[in-house]
Structure 1
Amino acid sequence: MNILVINSGSSSIKYQLFKMPSTQPVCSGLVERIGIEGSFIKHSVFPAGEKLSIEKDAFISGHGEGLKQVLALLSEGLHAVIASPGDIAAVGHRVVHGGEHFSGATLITDQVKKQIKKLFSLAPLHNPVNYKCIEVAEQTFPSAKQIAVFDTAFHQTIPEAAYRYAIPEQYYSEHGIRVYGFHGTSHKYVSEQAINWLGKPHSKIISIHLGNGCSITAIKDGKSIDTSMGFGPLNGLMMGTRSGDIDPSVIFHLMEHSGYTLEQLSTLLNKQSGLLGVGGSSDMRDINKLAGEGKDKAKLALKLYAYRIKKFIGAYAASLNGIDTIIFTAGVGENDVEMRAAVCDELDYLGIKIDKDKNKSYQGELLDIGMDDASVRILVVPTNEEYEIANQCFKLLN
């Protein structure tokens, strides 16, 4: 069964084609800088374990044009992997916000699309783009089942004491204001990999997803029980451009004394803060370079970033009543040796002790980087949201 997975961002489309139940993709790719000068596509095919890559530079005006380019790469030329759109049995879509309506992979109907649309205001950078890609995929692959996998679904197991805010009940019952959590597809995938590696279904795991967006989740017996992102994806850890936790009084102060509008405040906290606001760049590689050059702002950004993570580890150790393992995943979590070391520093009272040599030896596959005598395992687990989406679609159709 051919399942195409589409993971769309505000200016990008990541995709992978799986011939399920195989865990290895037939091909994968990235359409980047959609609607921006310098658009490009990277497409890789994997025949007989090899990797053949194609790169194209072309202005891509929108996500519709991007998907047309993807279809051409899938079905045309020497390295075509399908004969026609009809060869695709299902298209799995990552949808960021599902509210309380969806707790698993869901066949997309008109009613489901209406629910996704209702949630545009809660995930304004993602849900509208996810919706657009669903509509384009319906036209591009008319015979395929369209399936949504929601980032919020994994967190539907969070207990009420953790997902409710301490505000009057009517704001929850009438407006749905509560913790929803995000990055659920990633946290689900890496925690399942860790559970299999540990051989311990009943386990206490802290999963740390560090990319441009960052979140941390407490997972007990394979189920999310708390997570750092809340009603929207702005809360919790410091991120590339998002502030993470901030006292709401700051917002009132800026509105009252500096005349900030809601739009200006949204831009400030979502697009101008985090690593960018403190250190001068939203890319951790740039921050590390600037810190290496002695720039104090970049050094401070690194300290703030690591401190926030450590603080949540302590909180979630309390929520879980202990820890079996912590997981580092996503772009920064998988690739930044120094940040992993900074996060684990001085956490030996919790049983977290990193092995510096093992930490440096990570090569892209699941690795335990903890000291042999430590009571808590420290795992680096490469996330694969696309495969997790394909697997959920496959299970739904079967």
Structure 2
Amino acid sequence: MRHILTLNSGSSSLKFALYPLEGAASLDTLTPRYRGKYAGLNGGTPRLTLRDGEGQAVDTDTAALPEKLDLPGALERLLHWLDAFSDLSLAVVGHRVVHGGRDYHRPVTLTSEITAELKELEPLAPLHQPFCLAPVDPLAERYPELPQVACFDTAFHAEQPEVARQFALPREMTARGLIRYGFHGLSYDYINRVLPESLGEAPGERVIVAHLGNGSSLCAIHKGTSVASTMGFTAMEGMPMGTRSGRLDPGLVLHLIQQEGMSAEEVSEMLYKRSGLLGVSGISGDMRELLESPAPEAREAVDLYAYRAVREIGSLASALGGLDQLVFTAGIGEGAGPVREAICRGCEWLGIELDADANRRDARRISTAESRVGAWVIPTDEERMIAWYSARVAGLA
């Protein structure tokens, strides 16, 4: 049986999913045979989690993993596991690629030339792009005839109006590609496609989706098209995140370098890895731990996160000219009821009336029937989006 393999590679993890090709006719019929994740790569404690298509855990011999495991090693183990299936062959591999730059606005079949061009974008997403592309060459060497497809997190935002993408920089800088790109596009694309069915009604023209996880952003969608988003030139802008600072005064960065004597590398490491929820709380970048902690610093970090989300929603609502629906998704958005409550309470002026009981139950609709603006919790599925696109780009569906 032919399958679609999706890969989402990060600095410390490798997420994968396996979809039977026969289900690729639509998003609805595309269901996974397996989903899994290698975690603790590149210096941590390696772990493997695996679930079947019903979401049930599959036994894995985690004890057999080496004490240290890097991304190439995890990929090799994954491919060895797949080779053991007598009824399985790969039809296409789909990769989540964070940055498509100015030239790649839709999924593409990877060639050596395109892969080289995408590697040139690594300085724009240094914590993501190198790892997204790392499996491409090993797979090409092992399966030279196997098509590989790149699906871009920036593509969903490519139709934003120029005024939403431009920085107030000298024109030659803009011409060189120093613009707002936006990220988490595969997640927004998926939510946008399933929204009418999930709501059971027409969603209206003005929707804000809050992708709140270890990386957090929000997107304003008008008539199905992204018109503004909180992330910009890099995946650091906008909301505070697990370890990323979110939006800062550029003058603060200059101060750190010129007055505090920090190098550019030290500032980058601090803003990407030691800021956000972790930096404010001094405890953890994991929202679950902060919500359970009695420490006032944890409360301060959660409050700042919710406050900034409310501020961003107000900005995006102005870009939309109002708001019809607010959708929460990703790990925090789907699982942190207290955070959703704080955000919805801060958006009552927009017409959101929270159903507190529904919110505590993580119900799909968390606004009251009388609320002028609907508030919803809808799980995202970036892997399914990658699989769906990959089958089409490869001419298999």
Q: Which runs of 5+ in 2 are unaligned?
A: none
Distance 2:37 2:99 in 1: 22
4+ runs of 1 displaced by more than 4 Å? none
Once the two structures are superposed, residues 364-393 of structure 1 have per-residue CA deviations (whole angstroms, 9 ceiling, x without a partner) of: xxx111111001111101111000000111
Check conservation: 1:193, 1:381, Cα contact below 8 A. Answer: no
TM-score, normalised by the number of residues in structure 2: 0.93
Compared CA separation, residues 209 and 42, structure 1 to 2 (3 A): same
Distance 2:388 2:269 in 1: 36
Give the one of 103, 108, 111 matched to 1:109.
111
Once the two structures are superposed, residues 92-113 of structure 1 have per-residue CA deviations (whole angstroms, 9 ceiling, x without a partner) of: 0000111011111100012211
Distance 2:346 2:55 in 1: 43
SS, match of residue 304 in structure 1: helix
Q: Which amino acid aligns with 1:131?
A: L
Distance 2:143 2:38 in 1: 18
Once the two structures are superposed, residues 60-94 of structure 1 have per-residue CA deviations (whole angstroms, 9 ceiling, x without a partner) of: 53222111211233332xxx4x546xx10100000
Q: Which amino acid aligns with 1:288?
A: L
1:348 shift after superposition? 2.1
Check conservation: 2:291, 2:298, Cα contact below 8 A. Answer: yes
Q: Does 1:384 align with 2:381?
A: yes
SS, match of residue 58 in structure 2: strand
Deviates more, 1:122-131 or 1:234-243: 122-131
Q: Which amino acid aligns with 1:32?
A: A
Give the one of 259, 275, 286 matched to 1:283.
286
Distance 1:111 1:219 in 2: 33
1:52 shift after superposition? 5.0
Deviates more, 1:91-100 or 1:187-196: 187-196
Give the one of 67, 72, 77 matched to 1:69.
77
Q: Does 1:54 align with 2:56?
A: no
SS, match of residue 311 in structure 1: helix
Q: Does 1:245 align with 2:237?
A: no
- Percent identity, please: 36
Distance 2:361 2:262 in 1: 48
Once the two structures are superposed, residues 138-178 of structure 1 have per-residue CA deviations (whole angstroms, 9 ceiling, x without a partner) of: 234333210000101111011100000011110011x3100
Q: Does 1:349 align with 2:349?
A: yes
TM-score, normalised by the number of residues in structure 1: 0.92
Check conservation: 2:7, 2:17, Cα contact below 8 A. Answer: yes
Check conservation: 1:202, 1:222, Cα contact below 8 A. Answer: no
Equivalent residue, structure 1, for 2:33: 26
Alignment of 1:350-365 (within 5 A): 350-362=350-362
Aligned pair count reads 383
Check conservation: 1:194, 1:379, Cα contact below 8 A. Answer: no
SS, match of residue 258 in structure 1: coil
Q: Does 1:218 align with 2:220?
A: yes
1:191 shift after superposition? 2.2
Compared CA separation, residues 211 and 139, structure 1 to 2 (3 A): same
